[in-house]
Structure 1
Amino acid sequence: MPTIAVKRDLLFRYLEKTYTDEEFQKVCFEFGLELDDITTERQMIAREQGDESRSVEGASEEIIYRIDIPANRYDLLCIEGLVLGIKIFQGSLNAPVFRTVGSGINVPLKINVNPSVANVRPYIVGAILRNITFTCDSYMSFIDLQDKLHQNICRKRSLVAIGTHDYDTIQGPFTYEAKAPQDIKFVPLNEAQEYTAEGLMTLYANHAQLKQYLPIIKDQALYPVITDFNGVVLSLPPIINSDNSKITLNTKNVFIECTATDLTKAKIVLDTIVCMFSGYCADKYSAENVEVCYPDQRALLYPELAYRKKKVSAKRANGVVGIKIIDIYFSKIY
């Protein structure tokens, strides 16, 4: 069961309500969650280092809530989803309707898929969050959600790898293909010089975070790579993005791509990110379509943000929850 750490005061500000620790523990229980721990950033870091009594330079004493999240509730892995879920549950907010929109010129951004990826990492999906406004807190939450998804539904990037880019630094259409590692050259995220993909395998061999992902592609003859119209590398999935297209606090338009060996999970991951952060867009709860063009002439639009209606028998519902209700309809996003 994954656990998220949220700043108590920020959480209460988003919820537009203040609780005592006991009151919020009750809110979690009613919503189906568990408030696992009440701590501080300093205590969390000290605990990881094996000494809770030690002083940690620069660490905050701000109260942190650590909350256990059900394994199948990917939407609750960030403060945005947690707040949205609680508000809807408490009836203080109507469930938003998430939707896709065109590019404004009726020609969506295209990702052209080369046949070479078929036996490497065959699927890709994408979306654009337009006119988004980040704060320090929402920016860090955006990055943290990707990490949480990578460790859970993405199965440490083996099934899905997420790339997020400043759309204003690159030019579509994009190409998704597989190339020999020595033929892929770019400046990776937070580095100052250019490397080949082959060189990155050596560079990251002892990297604390990235070394665990290298075996996914290291022994393959071809590596997947995403490039823009000018041949500029965006990403070497599932390892690292390019420094050229990195997002910052000032990024206004975010291009999200998810490459995958499991298309269903890729769509869930993309929809989750879009639904959690489209609330920060000027046109709230919307995402711009991206068209993925496959070699067999299929052209698929993402994100799907699909809804379906489910009819639930009152008799069955009564038998499960032990109450008496009439026939109702449920709507759920997938």
Structure 2
Amino acid sequence: MPVVDVDPDELRRMTGHEEKSDDELKDDLFGLGIEFEGETEDGEFQLEFEADRLDRLSIAGIARSLRYQYGDARGVYVPETNDADWTIEVAESVPEERPYVTGAIVRGLDMDEGDLEAIIQLQEKLHATMGRKRAKGAIGIHDLTMLKGTVAGRDHEKSIRYVGVEPEGDTFVPLDADRALTPAAVIEEHPVGQTYGDLVSEYDRYPAIYDDIGLFSFPPVINGRRTEVSTKSHELFIEMTGTDQWTIDKMLNVVCYALDARGGRVEEVEVTYPDGTVTRPDLTVDEKRVEHRQIERTLGIDLDEDEAIDLFERSGLDAETEIVGDDELAYDVSIPPYRVDVLHPVDLVDDVGRAYGFNNLTPRYPNVSTVGSRTEAARHEEAVRNVLVGLGFEDMLNFNLTSEAENFERMRLDPGDDAVGAARPPTIMEPYSQDFTIVRTWALPSLLMVLENNTHREYPQDLAEIGFAAHVDETTLTNVAERRTVAAVLARNDASFEDAKGRLQALARNFGVDLATPPTEHPSFIEGRAADVVLDGDAVGVIGELHPAVLVEHDLEVPAAGFEFRLDGLDG
């Protein structure tokens, strides 16, 4: 989780509670869910907090939360913004991999070294968290007075341009450098370029930002020295580029609120895309509804309407009452633009609980007497696992995430086939690795990957797994159907359909289930050597000898047979 260094004296000053001792501050911070991790050599607090509260990545955000807790501030605060005087023009040449940009101007700042360090820390913490190490969003902060630009035909407005450039194109002097470099040279020679250059090195054209003087920013890698921010900078231009508009807009809001808390005046910027114009920052107040009874039931407390609204306001929220359903009291809650963590009504309940004080909740025993134990389903799964081990299988535990190549292509399977394992998989929107892009639809490919990685070991290798599989099902509440699946594979010189069926027959007999194996066809198995797994009359899986093409694909030089079926088929 993120750790932020905070000067306790500065925190006291920003909250207006200079009488607070260090221990009192630590207790107050803990009430917000912020834990004290230690002190730096300079006596600064090292504070750790949940990564969803990105507005607390700066001392200004932490101070804001404390003021709400102390009752010194209430409700939603939205900074007033001046009309746009600058425009960011987005060219069609911008790399399609990083098409989005946002921005704002902040004027009237008077910063000392501590303020500047706090802004830089906020920038880097946002990069590391919401920005996914600059891959999803990157921030550039510039001295506005060093920029020059005009919009053709609109002399009262100024503009910068977000474009795509040739890697060996225009030059600029990057931060911490003493000579001009091309973007390609920055990646090759500059320490920061060597760290973040991989984010854009595969692009045909590199993202770049220009004013009338020339190139001054190479996002997401590094800014130019010409617009470097110092304590003498009173007007800032903030630009952010990324792969997702919502992400960079929310990151921008966090920065704008932090600078507003330091006396800055936020000014809008127009962002002109080829297909339209938007105005940023987007300080729209979101709304979400939560029922009164959900608050009371979750927290175990009794509140009247006024008390609930008071707690919302002390959380930095606004709330209006509504009557819904069968005369049920609910609240339409306004959420400030810097909050990115309120995704569900339970998040609002959490805010109410923190404002009430979790330490003020009275512990009580439930009205039922229970003893913790495993569920019946867990006991059943353990029993199946024990039988598989008794039948000579090694118990495996593989990843639930895989790739389409492993799940389908290497198994000679297509998602549209009418076969076990063939289904539309749940996909990962932004996978960390191309090896883990989907949730697996069956477990047998995972076992074959284990065999592939152990071809140097002695045979026979008999593997089994009871694991998780899923597929897209739009008839369900979550649009995903999940199940527990049993898979096994036998890799040996004499592996055969009969051997696999014998093991499966013994497994079914242990649970008093009738097994039938009518012939079937499956792309992963040899034609004429595959069958459906039918347990107590229900077709729940497949069994057979694996196709030679599948064996070759996995570098296996011995025959293999296997089966897979739904775990609930053994319920009897």
Q: Above 0.5 in TM-score?
A: yes
Percent identity among equivalent residues? Answer: 28
- Mapping for residues 163-182 of structure 1, pairs under 5 Å: 163-172=140-149, 173-182=159-168
CA distance in 1, matches of 2:288, 2:203: 44
Q: Is the 8 A contact 2:40 2:46 kept in 1?
A: no
Aligned counterpart, 1:301: 279
Aligned counterpart, 1:316: 294
Aligned counterpart, 1:150: 127
Deviation at 1:130, TM superposition (A): 1.2
Residue 221 (1) aligns with residue 204 (2): yes
Pick from 286, 289, 295 the counterpart of residue 268 of structure 2: 289
CA distance in 2, matches of 1:182, 1:328: 57
Q: What residue identity is the alignment partner of 1:251? A: S
Deviation at 1:96, TM superposition (A): 6.2
CA distance in 2, matches of 1:146, 1:175: 22
Deviation at 1:309, TM superposition (A): 3.3
- Mapping for residues 57-206 of structure 1, pairs under 5 Å: 62-95=42-75, 97-103=77-83, 108-172=85-149, 173-204=159-190
Q: Is the 8 A contact 2:271 2:278 kept in 1?
A: yes
Runs of 4+ residues deviating >4 angstroms? none
CA distance in 1, matches of 2:66, 2:172: 43
Aligned counterpart, 1:13: 13
> For structure 1, which segment, 230-239 or 266-275, has the greater mean C-alpha deviation from structure 2 after superposition?
230-239
Q: Is the 8 A contact 1:165 1:234 kept in 2?
A: no
Aligned counterpart, 1:256: 238
- Answer with 1 or 2: which has the greater Rg: 2
- Mapping for residues 21-40 of structure 1, pairs under 5 Å: 21-37=22-38, 39-40=39-40
Partner of 2:252, secondary structure, is: helix
- Count residues in correspondence: 302
Deviation at 1:317, TM superposition (A): 1.3
Q: Is the 8 A contact 2:77 2:336 kept in 1?
A: no
Partner of 2:261, secondary structure, is: helix
Partner of 1:247, secondary structure, is: coil
Deviation at 1:90, TM superposition (A): 1.4
- Aligned CA RMSD, in angstroms, stands at 1.8
Aligned counterpart, 1:51: none
CA distance in 2, matches of 1:118, 1:89: 45
Q: Is the 8 A contact 2:104 2:238 kept in 1?
A: yes
> For structure 1, which segment, 11-20 or 137-146, has the greater mean C-alpha deviation from structure 2 after superposition?
11-20
What whole-Å deviation, never above 9, does each CA across 1:231-281 have from its counterpart, x for those lacking one? 421200011101111111011110000001111110110000001111223
What whole-Å deviation, never above 9, does each CA across 1:54-76 have from its counterpart, x for those lacking one? xxxxxxxx322111111111111
Q: What residue identity is the alignment partner of 2:54? A: Y
CA distance in 2, matches of 1:192, 1:321: 59
C-alpha distance 20-202 of structure 1, shift in aligned 2 (>3 A): same
Structure 2-normalised TM-score? Answer: 0.51
Deviation at 1:95, TM superposition (A): 4.8
Partner of 2:27, secondary structure, is: helix
Q: Is the 8 A contact 1:271 1:305 kept in 2?
A: yes
Q: What residue identity is the alignment partner of 2:69? A: F
CA distance in 2, matches of 1:189, 1:6: 26
CA distance in 2, matches of 1:20, 1:280: 23
Partner of 2:69, secondary structure, is: helix
Q: What residue identity is the alignment partner of 1:332? A: I
Q: Is the 8 A contact 1:123 1:262 kept in 2?
A: yes
Q: Is the 8 A contact 2:148 2:213 kept in 1?
A: no
Q: What residue identity is the alignment partner of 1:30? A: G
Pick from 226, 249, 267 the counterpart of residue 267 of structure 1: 249
Q: What residue identity is the alignment partner of 1:177? A: V
Partner of 2:168, secondary structure, is: helix
Aligned counterpart, 2:457: none
Deviation at 1:118, TM superposition (A): 4.6
Q: What residue identity is the alignment partner of 1:291? A: E
Q: What residue identity is the alignment partner of 1:214? A: G
Q: What residue identity is the alignment partner of 1:31? A: L
- Structure 1 residue ranges without an equivalent (≥5): 42-61
Deviation at 1:328, TM superposition (A): 3.9
